[in-house]
């Protein structure tokens, strides 16, 4: 009996707390209006962003055209000599690097050979660790 009274009392409270149909419609309209405001602001911001990107692309186009006109016939003469000299020095440096790396590799081989000879016993067997043979089953 007590449970039924509580249940009836709870239903009565929810009915009192529930909104009327008109209040629900008003809340829905308010939410729809605020959603439209947000969507309008978003559309305006996207339009501004689109305009700014268009201006940036125009700027890039203008600078590319200016650069192409300025260096249409190649780089100025004063840069030509500097570039060829720089490339010649760079090639020389690369060749020196190759020679040094070959020398280091040859030295490494010699050091390995000396280590191998010093590790050999009087009998001519190497004392370096060898892998053990696999067991046969």
Q: How far is CA 119 from the centre of its chain?
A: 51
More confidently predicted of 79 and 72: 72
pLDDT one-digit tens code per residue, 91-132: 888 888 888 888 888 888 888 777 777 666 555 555 555 566
pLDDT one-digit tens code per residue, 27-65: 999 999 999 999 999 999 998 899 899 888 888 888 888
Please state the domain extents for the chain: 19-60, 76-118
- Contacts of 83-87 spanning 24+ positions with Cβ under 8 A: none
With beta carbons less than 8 A apart as the criterion, state whether 49 and 41 touch: no
pLDDT of residue 11 exceeding 70, the answer is no
């Amino acid at each position: 009996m007590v449970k039924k009274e509580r249940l009836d009392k709870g239903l009565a409270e929810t009915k009192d707390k529930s909104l009327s149909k008109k209040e629900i419609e008003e809340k829905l309209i308010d939410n729809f209006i605020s959603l439209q405001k947000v969507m309008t602001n978003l559309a305006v911001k996207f339009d501004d962003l689109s305009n700014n990107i268009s201006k940036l692309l125009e700027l890039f186009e203008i600078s590319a055209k200016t650069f192409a006109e300025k260096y249409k016939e190649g780089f100025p003469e004063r840069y030509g000599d500097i570039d060829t000299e720089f490339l010649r020095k760079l090639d020389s440096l690369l060749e020196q690097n190759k020679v040094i790396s070959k020398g280091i590799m040859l030295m490494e081989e010699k050091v390995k050979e000396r280590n191998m000879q010093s590790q050999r016993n009087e009998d001519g067997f190497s004392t370096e660790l060898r892998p053990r043979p696999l067991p046969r089953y």
